[in-house]
Structure 1
Amino acid sequence: MRKTGLLGLAAAALTAGLLLGAATGQAKEWRGWNIHVPDYPVSLGMDAFAEMIAERSDGRLTAKTYHSGVLGDQPDAIEQVRLGGIDFAVFNLGPMGQVVPATNVVSLPFIFKNLDHMHRVMDGPIGEELSAAMAEKGLVALAWYDSGARSFYNTKRPIETPDDVKGMKIRVMSNDLFVGMIEAMGGNATPMAFGEVYQSLKTGVVDGAENNWPSYESTNHFEVAGYYSNSEHLIIPECVCINKALWDSLSADDQALVRQAARESADLQRKLWAERAEASRDKVVAAGVKFNEIQDKAAFQAAMEPVHAAFLEKNPELKELVEKIKATD
């Protein structure tokens, strides 16, 4: 009984400490979560963000990013940022849909025409609308990072048409939309943590996955899955997010400082992303990856129509938001 009581007191003290840190905004060094390796464009953008807020606040605000997923996988990290156990992070909006349903609209296959279209959408009123929905769940989106266009790669064959996905076990991020996307082409969707994908490809637990060039290259997935097919079916932005309680504790001046630093870090990240995507593609092609450009993406877009229809039937309140995205020039 005494041991249990002490453990309860310790847990209460930890919670109180986390809340105090969030309430003061300056009582501790902010901890940042990141899934990627240290030299990745996202990682470099986050490090620049931390450096900018420290410099511009004369050291009142300090932050450190923990890279390579050392603070946990993304679903856990989202909850930790919401609760204040982690202060800030860059999250892909794919898995975010499980927490903030409105963000699922950017995970609809082929919702964006290209990267530039995504930037225009997310940097405007639609991005603000999504930010408001995230704030209701304890996350404040400060800026939007690139995560490129996601395409299919696998261990078996080139993918030229949706029929080529039939029977394949494809790893996807944890979101029902992505499960539906693979099933619509006759594949078997397998949600799993990003860190498990390499070994799963190597051992045949899955036949393939889908991701962008830098992720395919930096994780060495190209060593075990040598077919890359340029479907570009998903263009999903990432958010620089901060715990809402921590954000609310900041003065208006500090909020402006932090938001400006986040936006400047996004400008840097997007530039580095474009450079890295080209370099990653060159590297894996030189290593012998069998790359094919999908000539007719219309067949894939048609295969996704039932996915869009099912999504809007389940979420009719998001139909207007989807239409706004499609109508953005």
Structure 2
Amino acid sequence: MMNRMFYCLLLVFLFTSCKRNSDVKVMYLAHTLPQSHPVHKGILEFKRALAEKSGGKMDIKIFPDGQLGSERETLELLQIGSVAVTKVSAATLSNFVPEYHILGIPYLFRDKQHQFDVLEGEVGKSILEKGSKFWLRGLCYYDAGSRSFYTSNKPIRTPDDLKGLKIRVMNNQMAINMVNSLGGSPTPMAYGELYTAIQQGVVDGAENNPPSFVSSNHYEVSKYYTLDQHSSVPDVLLIGTKYWESLTEEEKVWVQEAANISSQAQKKFWSESVEESMAVAKAAGVEIIIPEKSLFQEKSKPVLEAFQKEHPNMDNLINKIKNQ
């Protein structure tokens, strides 16, 4: 009861705080990542660029570290207009906006340049717009790198090495299907429980990008990191449609331009973070394995085939991505 009461009071507080204060319009932005994360640095650039574009007429108050709840909870706050902006994984967003499922398909992108070309082009922009009917308007994408497997005791050099291994995945059907296709045993669990789960042998490993692998300290309990790079699910910067519609046309231009600037800056922050994270992992004695990715790509093809059968209406978007 106390938690519910606090939650309701918080909504009222945020709703009133997002409105005009003096001559400055302050937007509240919530996300779940630590302030050392390259995505948070990108968000700081969004704040800086918006203040510059608006001549100081708009500002952003940032709540990092999950202060206002999980990714799903912040999305719900956006939908009801209590928070203006958030950053979530496209995987989490896919539970609200089906088109984002596409971005989790294993080996969808040929390389990093192909991914950026798609996300910043016609297809990426069309997916951002799809969320508007669910009160979640996409502003831009942030680089979240590529996800790869890491394990505690057994190295993964080929897909066959995954047989019998319990691998923690996000509670996302695409991720579950991907590990199943490779022969592993997908085990959804909360991210905060993962360190102890690996340490105690509840799971044999997990999959994530290098900055997350290091910032979570999972490299302390995982001896092997296999850079198979099976998926490249981006993060998405979103603004609640209700809040967006309260802005003037000029304010909308400022917000979108500032988001675009932050997206480009965040790429650089991410690249630097990957280099730093890999250096930390290597120094800690983690064995970095570079596998033959084509083996993983071939074995995960059924995931795409099953998705196309289940969502034939999305074939056009998938084909556009493949042909770009």
Q: TM-score, normalised by structure 2?
A: 0.91
State the 1:93 CA deviation: 0.5
The amino acid of 1:192's aligned partner reads M
Counterpart in 2 of 1:291?
288
Q: Among 296, 303, 306, which residue is 1:300 paired with?
A: 296
Counterpart in 2 of 1:312?
308
Counterpart in 1 of 2:227?
230
Counterpart in 1 of 2:84?
87
Residues 17 and 178 (structure 1 numbering): CA distance in 2 closer, same or farther, change over 3 Å?
same
Are the aligned partners of 2:85 and 2:239 in contact in 1 as well (CA < 8 Å)? Answer: yes
- State yes or no: 1:276 paired with 2:261: no
State the 1:60 CA deviation: 3.0
Are the aligned partners of 2:18 and 2:28 in contact in 1 as well (CA < 8 Å)? Answer: no
Deviations 1:14-51 (A, max 9, x none): 76776666687988632212222112110011112123
- State yes or no: 1:48 paired with 2:57: no
Matched-pair identity in %: 34
- Aligned pairs for 1:42-121 (under 5 A) are 42-121=39-118
State the 1:318 CA deviation: 0.5
- Counterparts of 2:242 and 2:139 in 1: how far apart (Å)? 14
State the 1:55 CA deviation: 3.8
Report which stretch shifted further, 156-165 or 69-78.
69-78
Q: Secondary structure at the match of 1:256?
A: helix
The amino acid of 2:78's aligned partner reads V
Q: TM-score, normalised by structure 1?
A: 0.90
- Counterparts of 1:221 and 1:15 in 2: how far apart (Å)? 34
- Aligned pairs for 1:1-329 (under 5 A) are 29-294=26-291, 296-328=292-324
Are the aligned partners of 2:15 and 2:83 in contact in 1 as well (CA < 8 Å)? Answer: no
State the 1:184 CA deviation: 1.3
- Counterparts of 2:263 and 2:213 in 1: how far apart (Å)? 22
Deviations 1:180-223 (A, max 9, x none): 11111222212223222222222222211111111111111100
Q: Secondary structure at the match of 1:94?
A: helix
Residues 146 and 265 (structure 1 numbering): CA distance in 2 closer, same or farther, change over 3 Å?
same
State the 1:274 CA deviation: 0.8
- Counterparts of 2:295 and 2:118 in 1: how far apart (Å)? 25
- Counterparts of 1:190 and 1:261 in 2: how far apart (Å)? 39
Q: Secondary structure at the match of 2:86?
A: strand
- Counterparts of 1:90 and 1:63 in 2: how far apart (Å)? 13
- Counterparts of 1:73 and 1:17 in 2: how far apart (Å)? 18
Q: Secondary structure at the match of 1:190?
A: strand
Are the aligned partners of 1:22 and 1:84 in contact in 2 as well (CA < 8 Å)? Answer: no
State the 1:83 CA deviation: 2.2
- Counterparts of 2:31 and 2:142 in 1: how far apart (Å)? 13
- Counterparts of 1:299 and 1:114 in 2: how far apart (Å)? 16
State the 1:100 CA deviation: 0.8
- Between Structure 1 and Structure 2, how many residues are aligned? 319
Are the aligned partners of 1:169 and 1:188 in contact in 2 as well (CA < 8 Å)? Answer: yes
- Counterparts of 2:13 and 2:278 in 1: how far apart (Å)? 46
- Counterparts of 1:285 and 1:312 in 2: how far apart (Å)? 39
